[in-house]
Amino acid sequence: MSSWVSQAIGKINADYQRSADTHLIKLDKINIPGVDIYLKDESTHPTGSLKHRLARSLFLYALCNGKIRENTTIVEASSGSTAVSEAYFARMIGVPFVAVMPAATAQSKIALIEQFGGHCHFVDCPTQMHDEAVRVAKARNGYFMDQFMYAERATDWRGSNNIAESMFGQMSAEPHAEPHTVVMSAGTGGTSATIGRYIRYKGLATRLLVVDPQHSVFFESFQTRDNSVQNTRGSRIEGIGRPKVEASFQPDVIDCMMQVDDGASIATMLWLSEMLGVKAGASTGTNMWGVLQVARSMQQRGESGSIVTLMCDSGDRYQDTYYNPAWVEKEFGSTTQYRNWLDDIPLN
Ligand SMILES: Cc1ncc(COP(=O)(O)O)c(C=O)c1O
């Protein structure tokens, strides 16, 4: 192995050594008797989302597989969080980074990528991203990171402080230490694959529920086991839901799935912010809607236990969109019916 590669791996490992784990917040304000709800706050990584873990894993995976050398240009197809995190690691090891993204990508994300020294290359439509990333990587003799292909295998699912090991470890001193259910949404499907595999590896009774937004094919393909389903419309919940079944999506380690209306995701995100003081992105709203459905049905069945989910990123990134009432009204119409349901959740 070249000394450059070993130094690059060393820099990433040193950065990890300097890092603190993310908090697992107990949402004590929600008062559903017998049910404890926890939110793992992935927004506190240096690059602001759960994609920090994925980017670290993808870089280490590619470096250890001999795919990245000194001056290799890294190319990724991403409309946001993954590109921000990958730009951070590319700068750390001193290689150029190009994010292939839709021209409509939020200005704040473009600014973050450029702040980390990355270059943004635009396409007109999200469906062109993959092929254009392959082309750019070839033209620059670079390496296409391909998060949707490699997310599930780049993460050490048995341990290495992956998201599952961290989450279950942080639960160990809680009244219901082994969660009844973990709820997660899928973008690449990598995080849910890691959690599902870890649950099986450790022989836990925990159930993995994956929630899916409108216009995503994951839910349908989970039910039919048809990997060829496609949708022409993209998801409106940033970071999650896909128009085609991605290679990293692993239905066999998921226990059940639930489709969540976009209006419900937005209403829950706003409810979390107003009622609980947790300002998260829209995918966290999708996750929490799923959590609250499970909590209510546990309550109805007289069950007790804990439910854990993730805060994938912070709401600060979406000031102009999901947190802008005029924009929400225009894009999604009224979300009042979901808010009314949420307002019936008893709070302390
Ligand atoms: C904001 C946000 N939430 C959730 C996810 C889903 O994570 P995963 O790709 O591991 O399925 C992503 C992934 O892009 C994301 O950016």
**CATH number of the domain where residue 120 is located:** 3.40.50.1100
Q: Of the residues 151, 170, 187, which one is the last residue of a structural domain?
A: 151
Q: Which of 118, 136, 151 is the last residue of a domain?
A: 151
Q: What is residue 161's predicted lDDT score, i.e. its pLDDT?
A: 81
Low-confidence winner among 108-112, 142-146, 161-165, 341-345 (lowest mean pLDDT): 108-112
Task: State the residue range of the domain holding 284.
Answer: 18-46+158-342
Chain centre distance of CA 299: 28
Phi-psi group of 339: left, alpha or beta (phi > 0 → left; psi -120 to 50 → alpha; rest → beta): alpha
What is the residue with the minimal CA distance to atom 6 of ligand 1?
A: 187
Name the burial class of residue 92, with classes exposed (0-12), middle (13-18) and buried (19+) by CB atoms within 10 angstroms of its CB. middle
* Low-confidence winner among 103-117, 188-202, 260-274 (lowest mean pLDDT): 103-117
Looking at the structure, tell me whether residues 99 and 169 fall in a common domain: no
Is the residue at 101 inside a domain? yes
CA 345 to chain centre: 26
| Same domain, yes or no: 167 and 215 | yes
Tell whether 336 is covered by a domain. yes
Please provide the size of the chain in residues.
348
Ligand 1 closest atom vs CA 147: 9
Strand ordering across the sheet containing 181-185:
24-26, 35-41, 305-311, 181-185, 207-213, 256-260
pLDDT of residue 315: 94
How far, in Å, from the CA of 316 to the mean position of ligand 1?
16
For residues 154-166, average pLDDT: 92
Residue 317: what pLDDT?
85
Q: What percent of the chain has pLDDT over 90?
A: 90
Q: Helix 325-332 vs helix 262-276: angle between axes, to the nearest 10 degrees?
A: 160
Are 283 and 175 found together in one domain?
yes
DSSP 8-state class, residue 197 = H
- What pLDDT is recorded for position 106? 76
Residue 6 lies in a domain: no
Q: Give the Cα separation of 252 and 323 in Å (integer).
A: 35
Task: List, for residues 168-217, the tens digit of each pLDDT value.
Answer: 999 999 999 999 999 999 999 999 999 999 999 999 999 999 999 999 99
Q: Establish if 185 belongs to a structural domain.
A: yes
Average pLDDT over residues 132-161: 95
Ligand 1 centre to CA of 245 (Å) is 15
Q: CB–CB of 213/265 below 8 Å?
A: yes
Predicted confidence (pLDDT) at residue 324 exceeds the cutoff of 90? yes
Q: Is the pLDDT of residue 337 over 90?
A: yes
pLDDT band at 109 (very low <50, low <70, confident <90, very high): confident
pLDDT tens sequence across 18-30: 999 999 999 999 9
Higher confidence at residue 292 or residue 107? Answer: 292
Two structure tokens written together for 241:
């839901």
CA-to-CA separations, 331 to 23, 43, 322, 326, 335, in angstroms, rounded: 33, 25, 9, 9, 11
List Cβ neighbours of 199 (8 Å cut-off, separation of 6 or more): 164, 182, 206, 208, 253
CA distance 44 to 20: 9
Q: What is the pLDDT of residues 221-261, one digit of tens each?
A: 999 999 999 988 889 999 999 999 999 999 999 999 999 99
CB 184 within 8 A of CB 287: yes
pLDDT of residue 138: 97
Cα(275)–Cα(325) distance, integer angstroms: 17
pLDDT of residue 335: 97
Specify if 8 maps to a domain.
no
| H helix count then E strand count, the chain | 13, 10
Burial code of 94-117, b = ≥16 C-beta within 10 A, e = fewer? ebbbbbbbbeebbeebbebbeebe
pLDDT on residue 74 = 98
> Which pLDDT value is given to residue 62?
98
Can you give the pLDDT at residue 292? 98
Q: Please indicate, yes or no, whether residues 164 and 284 belong to a single structural domain of this protein.
A: yes
Q: Return the ligand 1 atom nearest residue 189 CA.
A: 11
Distance 284 CA to ligand 1 centre (A): 10
Q: Where are the beta strands (DSSP E) in 78-131?
A: 97-102, 119-123
| Predicted local distance difference test score (pLDDT) of residue 233 | 85
Tell me which of 43, 81, 105, 322 to substitute to probe ligand 1's pocket, judged by most ligand atoms within 8 Å of the beta carbon: 81
Residue 1 lies in a domain: no
Q: Can you tell me whether residue 282 is helix, strand or coil?
A: helix
203, 335: one domain: yes
258 in the same domain as 214: yes
pLDDT band at 276 (very low <50, low <70, confident <90, very high): confident
Task: State the average pLDDT over residues 33-47.
Answer: 97
Same domain, 214 and 312: yes
- Choosing from 98, 117, 151, the residue where a domain stops is 151
For 295-302, what is the mean pLDDT? 98
**Residues flanking ligand 1, CB < 6 Å:** 49-51, 81-82, 151, 185-192, 238-240, 281, 283, 312-313
Same domain membership, residue 248 and residue 286: yes
- For atom 15 of ligand 1, the residue with the nearest CA is 239
The pLDDT of residue 1 is above 80? no
Q: Is residue 33 part of a domain?
A: yes
Residue 188 confidence (pLDDT) = 96
Rounded to an integer, the average pLDDT of 295-321 is: 95
pTM for the model stands at 0.96
Quick one: 179 and 61 in the same domain? no
- Tokens at residue 127, please? 């469906």
- 267 and 124 in a single domain? The answer is no
Order of all β-strands in the sheet with 119-123: 119-123, 97-102, 74-77, 143-144
**295 and 174 within one domain:** yes
Q: Are residues 193 and 60 in the same domain?
A: no
- Number of domains observed in the structure of the chain: 2
Give, in degrees to the nearest 5, the angle at Cα 144 between 139 and 145. 160
Q: How confident is the model at residue 60 (pLDDT cuts 50, 70, 90)?
A: very high
In a domain, 3, yes or no: no
Instruction: Spell out the long-range contacts of 315-321 with Cβ–Cβ below 8 A and sequence spacing 24 or more.
Output: 315/269, 315/273, 315/279, 315/280, 315/281, 316/279, 317/48, 317/106, 317/108, 317/109, 317/281, 318/106, 318/238, 318/281, 318/282, 319/108, 320/106, 320/108, 321/106
User: What contacts 24+ positions apart, CB below 8 Å, involve 336-344?
Assistant: 337/263, 338/261, 338/263, 338/264, 338/266, 338/267, 338/268, 338/289, 339/267, 339/270, 339/271, 342/267, 342/268, 342/271, 342/275, 342/292, 343/271
